Structure 1
């Protein structure tokens, strides 16, 4: 949104080391500053850039100390904690019913654009257009003929309980049996989640379902790019769901059952008509018990979605 509104602007981002490659791959970013942990050196580096403005997405006292020596003319922060009062320019970014976290991030940028008299652009999906590499990545994941590649990530996010691998796997088997499409399942994982991936592959293989464990990739950015190959991405972890959503891939997410509506707050970046979400019953005793998700309903609706969505051969 920012780059589209101000195409001549140089946009730098300050990120943690783990997302360096992903930030460098972003087509809307010009330069990447990495958080080395050396605050004095970082503050000096920021000062040397002579920035005209800064938009703070994560308001911490440490960030304030990093920015202060640079004397940046305009610094905008979200109103999330007391640190906001250290800045002149602030905008509301509190959680709101029916508003996702990523949408709130857009609100901060929109505030910046309004204050500087720029027209807020209509940003169209996909947010990261990798369509020219889709065939390459489909080959990487061994797509054969008219198969649909259904990605499944059995790991979990921090705010939800883990989705039982057996329940997750049985749902995938049901989807395969109920859809009219020819499906191949690709199981993705990170680090210690490989144990879960192996278990899921074993369960599906035993039932004669076409499945394979994703081959390792060199970086987060390469993994994110590769998800353009997916015809659907299913997970209980919001990080991978967001990456798939960058390509506007249909997503099916599992979220905790809470009154704060995590399925809305942490929804994927895919368009509204490309998102399915399921939760256990809302409540202190039930909300984090992902075994209580209605997996039969999820399988039925996912199969119906796939049949309807891909009935148009142009998709």
Structure 2
């Protein structure tokens, strides 16, 4: 009987969020097992809130100490979702019979158990993590569960967080997060401002714009705030919460979330909040690969024309189409 499983997924916030479907499958199939994750420091607080995770080990950079922690946990299985040679060196001496890695790099051959976790063209990248878990569950005789309609139900706290963001009466909170997670360019504050001003003037919904930011993104948010305030549009600067976990929970307050391909956009998907995502225009189709976990009818996604000279130029996005689609969605669902 498998009692303890380690999943290694130690990269960015968005990557970890998109591992929730795989973690759900593990926990649902093996409710009595301890599902544990190895994550980057930036992800620690979010990982600790994940309802499918029982224990978190943080990547401190001290490989020897981390290996000792792994040994002490006495894992029955290790799933290497994020495969690196460094990871192999840390887990090779574990007395764990089952170590599973994806067929990606040359060091896949150092593992006895390997899986083709390459999702198909037209599928989101989170399918790769699910394919790994499905292989593991099938190998050990477990039934593969059906994925849920929503990955994080924080509805009991929705009113609390709406009050935190100052919602009044029938206002719809439209969250806007400037900046980028790195996989796409950044929509310029002027383009964001123009888009939001036009949407506010055309929709029948009573919108209040909530500008979220972190670090140097504050300057971008301030530019948007000033532009909207000058037009007497309802807008607030949302002071960053001290904990990523609290911020992640607070997104349940949103009626819509707009951002580039960032961790916050993907967190919104956990809540099944309608998302408006801006992606790079590449042949690898990040608009599909990095889609959020919100239901398909709640996902609006846009990118500039594909190409080396155009793909990261977010100014080339058809913002007229974005405006039209958003107004139609807001009027159909919130007016």
TM-score of the two chains, using structure 1 as the length reference: 0.96
Corresponding residue number in structure 1 for 2:39: 15
Q: Is the 8 A contact 1:21 1:219 kept in 2?
A: yes
Aligned partners of 2:164, 2:113: CA distance in 1, in Å? 47
Corresponding residue number in structure 1 for 2:96: 72
Q: Is the 8 A contact 1:155 1:237 kept in 2?
A: no
1:13-53 deviations in Å (ceiling 9; x for gaps): 11111111111111111111111111111111111111111
Corresponding residue number in structure 1 for 2:169: 145
Q: Is the 8 A contact 2:101 2:111 kept in 1?
A: yes
Q: What SS is found at the alignment partner of 1:84?
A: helix
1:188-222 deviations in Å (ceiling 9; x for gaps): 11111100010110111111110001122011111
Aligned partners of 1:310, 1:92: CA distance in 2, in Å? 43
Corresponding residue number in structure 1 for 2:67: 43
Greater shift after overlay, 190-199 or 283-292?
283-292
Corresponding residue number in structure 2 for 1:108: 132
Q: What SS is found at the alignment partner of 2:162?
A: helix
Specify whether residues 309 and 119 from structure 1 end up closer, same or farther in structure 2 by C-alpha distance, changes over 3 A only.
farther
Aligned match of 1:249 in 267, 273, 276?
273
Aligned partners of 1:310, 1:171: CA distance in 2, in Å? 18
Shift of 1:95: 5.3
Kindly indicate whether residue 58 of structure 2 is the aligned counterpart of residue 34 of structure 1. yes
Shift of 1:286: 1.3
Q: Is the 8 A contact 2:158 2:252 kept in 1?
A: yes
Corresponding residue number in structure 1 for 2:3: none
Q: What SS is found at the alignment partner of 2:56?
A: strand
Specify whether residues 7 and 95 from structure 1 end up closer, same or farther in structure 2 by C-alpha distance, changes over 3 A only.
closer
Shift of 1:8: 0.5
Aligned partners of 2:52, 2:181: CA distance in 1, in Å? 27
Root mean square deviation, CA, Å? 1.2
Corresponding residue number in structure 2 for 1:269: 293
Q: Is the 8 A contact 1:178 1:300 kept in 2?
A: no
Kindly indicate whether residue 241 of structure 2 is the aligned counterpart of residue 221 of structure 1. no
Aligned partners of 1:267, 1:33: CA distance in 2, in Å? 27
Corresponding residue number in structure 1 for 2:255: 231
Aligned partners of 1:170, 1:93: CA distance in 2, in Å? 42
Q: What SS is found at the alignment partner of 1:184?
A: strand
Aligned partners of 2:271, 2:131: CA distance in 1, in Å? 21
Shift of 1:237: 3.0
Give 5+ residue unaligned stretches, structure 2: 1-24
Aligned match of 2:225 in 181, 192, 201?
201
Corresponding residue number in structure 1 for 2:210: 186
Q: Is the 8 A contact 2:265 2:277 kept in 1?
A: yes
Q: Is the 8 A contact 1:238 1:266 kept in 2?
A: no
What pairs with 1:49-60 in structure 2 (closer than 5 Å)? 49-60=73-84
Give 5+ residue unaligned stretches, structure 1: none
Structure 1 runs of 4+ with >2 Å offset? 93-96
Specify whether residues 310 and 112 from structure 1 end up closer, same or farther in structure 2 by C-alpha distance, changes over 3 A only.
farther
Aligned match of 1:285 in 309, 315, 319?
309
Aligned partners of 1:119, 1:307: CA distance in 2, in Å? 42
Kindly indicate whether residue 145 of structure 2 is the aligned counterpart of residue 121 of structure 1. yes
Aligned partners of 2:47, 2:239: CA distance in 1, in Å? 23
Shift of 1:281: 1.2
Number of corresponding residues: 311
